[in-house]
Structure 1
């Protein structure tokens, strides 16, 4: 059953879910393992569940037609106008899971009153960089904990 605010696709659904569920934990652990193999860092030091347990934050899971979790993503507030994209992950790139998650989070960010989204990835993660650039994100100055860290690259996108 698809609840209000869910986004249905031909192969999967993206919907808000609790970030403490076992499916969420399993996806984020798989993301951490994948990041560690690609970048040498799991990204876990840049994320806490409490980051997305505050007002104007959101965690989503994409599930296939069998209900299997196949991707996740989150937003959290940086300031009144800026959401930060966190824990973006898709088990497969062939059916547009990552694109659907990002699209859903961008729309929900607007609904939550944000006008822009920022994110960080590692400079070595060319797959992620290409993905975000193809989705209209532009490189911005490193912010927050990413300042003066040349291994990090930050991106932003205006939502309005």
Structure 2
């Protein structure tokens, strides 16, 4: 599946399932980790391993701009049979709409695989992410899994329709 986001007849961002072990994926994961470390003091690597992307109900996606340059990444992986977790969302912010394009693709992919809900965790201090997910219809929920008892964490959920 390929999703293209078009503005005034010009393809701006394309998103498709990709190899999480590719050099482009590795580059974006490292950029995200560095940015998270700057914002939150934690690079986020302890709660994500690329190997989890080998699950048949997991998806790793890359976003490319109109010149074909990779500008963002994101993933979903199973939490339960019906709930997926959104992971490693990142845009290098060189293009407008990368985050929205990735999220749309991942939500659509999740629905097609039979998930009924998406969950995610970010940090309170990551205001850009908190605001983004609020605008996209995600609601705050009690911290789940490894985030229970972690006051710096904030968790969100969205029912997929």
Common topology (TM > 0.5): yes
Q: CA deviation at 1:7?
A: 0.8
1:59-70 equivalent positions in 2, closer than 5 A: 59-70=60-71
Distance change (3 Å), C-alpha of 1:34 and 1:15: same
1:47-126 equivalent positions in 2, closer than 5 A: 47-92=48-93, 95-126=96-127
Q: Which runs of 5+ in 2 are unaligned?
A: 6-10
Give structure 1 regions of 4+ aligned residues with deviation exceeding 4 angstroms: none
Point out the structure with the larger strand share.
Answer: 2
Q: Helix, strand or coil for the counterpart of 1:150?
A: coil
Q: CA deviation at 1:12?
A: 2.0
Tell me, in whole angstroms, the C-alpha distance in 2 between the residues paired with 1:61 and 1:122.
Answer: 23
- Return the TM-score normalized by structure 1: 0.95
Tell me, in whole angstroms, the C-alpha distance in 1 between the residues paired with 2:30 and 2:84.
Answer: 23
1:146-157 equivalent positions in 2, closer than 5 A: 146-157=147-158
Of residues 133-142 and 90-99 in structure 1, the stretch that sits farther from structure 2 once superposed is 90-99
Aligned positions, number:
156
Q: Helix, strand or coil for the counterpart of 2:134?
A: helix
- Return the TM-score normalized by structure 2: 0.94
* 2:141 corresponding residue in structure 1: 140
Q: Which runs of 5+ in 1 are unaligned?
A: none
* 1:8 corresponding residue in structure 2: 4
After superposition, the CA RMSD in angstroms is 1.0
